[in-house]
Amino acid sequence: MQYKNPVIPGFHPDPSICRVGEDYYLVTSSFEYFPGIPLFHSKDLVHWEQIGHCLTRSSQIKLTKGFPNTTGIYAPTIRYNNGRFYVITTNVTYSDEGGNFIVWTDDPYGEWSDPIWVDLPGIDPSLFFDDHGRVYYTGTYHNIFLCEIDITTGKLISERKDIWGGTGGADPEGPHLYKIDGYYYLFISEGGTAQCHMLTAARSKSIDGPYIPCPRNPVLTNRSLPLPIRAVGHADIIQAHNESWWAVCLGIRPVPYPDRHHLGRETFLAPVKWAEDGWPIFGNNGSIDLTMEADCLPEIKYSERSIRDDFDSSKLDFCWNFIYNPDNALWSLGEKKGYLTLRGNEINLDDKETSAWLGRRQEHMECRARTKLNFRLEKDGEEAGLSIFLNCDHHYEIALTRIDNERRIIFRRRIGSLWKVENNIKYDRDEVVFEMNATPNTYSFGYVDERGDLIPVGKGEVHYLSTEVGGKFTGNYIVLYATGNGNKCSNPAYFDWFDYSFS
């Protein structure tokens, strides 16, 4: 049987997975976006449905501003033990407000607890529930370390001990520990999270080592291979309810040549077999591809070909995010029934501050985004529109604005320190439908005229909005926004609907 990768497309890196009976739950990193830690559910490991987030309250997390694509929530691990779900992660802040912490819930569809802080350094924490109720923490701080903790308080029970430094690759990180057939298996990532990324393995009869490396390391990597998936690593494994073994991992789908990627690091699935010597074999003898042959679980599908939001609900769909902790005065779903309301403040898309900004991940190379906007302009500089956004220094947008006391539709590009309004069209209405079409190489923007025809306004290269040019650890967002460009807007911007479709 075949399945297609990625199983969760778009910016969904550092996947971690757990199983409860015949149900599977998965979390990924979210960096500076809020709510934090998207949570997914599946019955077959191939088709996933987002069921919420683990960090939904600003009281749980304070996100640092000013460091695009590099701060916030890194590499969560999800585990289930005695009826309770635990997620452990790091809030990277470059200040004393961050660190490693645990949240828990008895209902993955409900709210998660406030943070239980763990006073340990580094990133990429993971939990291991051993025999006799003991809980161990593995983390990354120069080497991979281990200590026993109290899961209810986060207090350390034993001293931190380095247990493995990897095989010599750069940046040993992302540890996960398992007990299988009498061995403690330790999987980590090495080589950095770019093209040299790889998964390596070691094992020991004792939890605190010594850990002996697998003779076939790396056990999973696509480095130096002519495959459409690159930068594979940071894996977590699970035994399915039919006793088969699987791994979820991150990877990228670059556009050649030279390789560059803009969707972010995505979630991929690989079958795992165990050799006679007790070491694992991942995927196709240690690599993965877009189409994989495996003995899959029976299909239970969730995915749709088109995603439309009419903003009729009292709550945002799980696909939507804010950048940084939101200011609830800047947005609403109830102010005007059936509309998303954004109240533009002084902050614009170039600023590293909280603004009237709502986005969803671009998840497909070829896709179309459309939205209907109603915005009564009263002052020059007021603006609302549709953007493709890597970060505050790299974005393109089409917008309705006012210039010299006239309504205008503009297309603008920001590429690092370069900034230009590429097109400026007179427009005499408060209502407009904007459209963005994406291909692997181009973003094209336009608006729909009174006859229903799409009027092209501008386009930009995908290359300049790629991680290799302007980003770091995240991917591109499709954004609805409003701004007064230095002043508060006189009136709200009302978005009637949003439509995302892909081929």
CA-nearest of 261, 245, 327 to 294 is: 245
Of the candidates 93, 90, 92, 120, the one whose C-alpha atom is nearest the C-alpha of residue 103 is 90
Tell me the HSE value of 288 on the side-chain side, using a 13 A CA sphere. Answer: 35
CB 500 within 8 A of CB 314: no
The Cα 88–Cα 29 span in angstroms is: 11
Query: CA of 190: how far to CAs of 19, 173, 414, in Å?
Result: 26, 6, 34
From 44, 124, 148, 173, the catalytic residue = 173
b/e sequence 181-203, b meaning 16+ C-beta within 10 Å = eebbbbbbbbbebbbbbbbbbbb
Beta strands in 28-142 (DSSP E): 33-34, 36-42, 49-55, 72-81, 84-92, 99-105, 116-118, 123-129, 135-141
Distance spanning both ends of the chain, measured CA to CA: 23
Residue 289 falls in the annotated catalytic set: no
Instruction: Return d(Cα 167, Cα 179) in angstroms, integer.
Output: 21
Distance CA 424, CA 432 (A): 15
**Dist CA 145 CA 165 (whole Å):** 9
Q: Could you tell me whether strands 198-204 and 212-213 are parallel, antiparallel, or unpaired per DSSP bridges?
A: antiparallel
The amino acid at 368? R
C-alpha to C-alpha distances, 326 to 86, 353, 356, nearest whole angstrom: 25, 10, 9
Torsion sign (Cα): 101, 105, 110, 116: negative
Q: Are 24 and 17 in contact (CB under 8 A)?
A: yes
d(CA 260, CA 421): 25
Q: Let me know if 14 is a catalytic residue.
A: yes
Helices and strands counted in the chain (H then E) = 1, 38
The closest of 420, 350, 359, 358 to 392, measured between CA atoms, is: 350
Q: How far apart are CA 499 and CA 503, in angstroms?
A: 14
Q: What is the largest CA-CA distance in the chain?
A: 76
What 3-state DSSP class applies to 462? helix
Q: Which residues are catalytic?
A: 14, 173
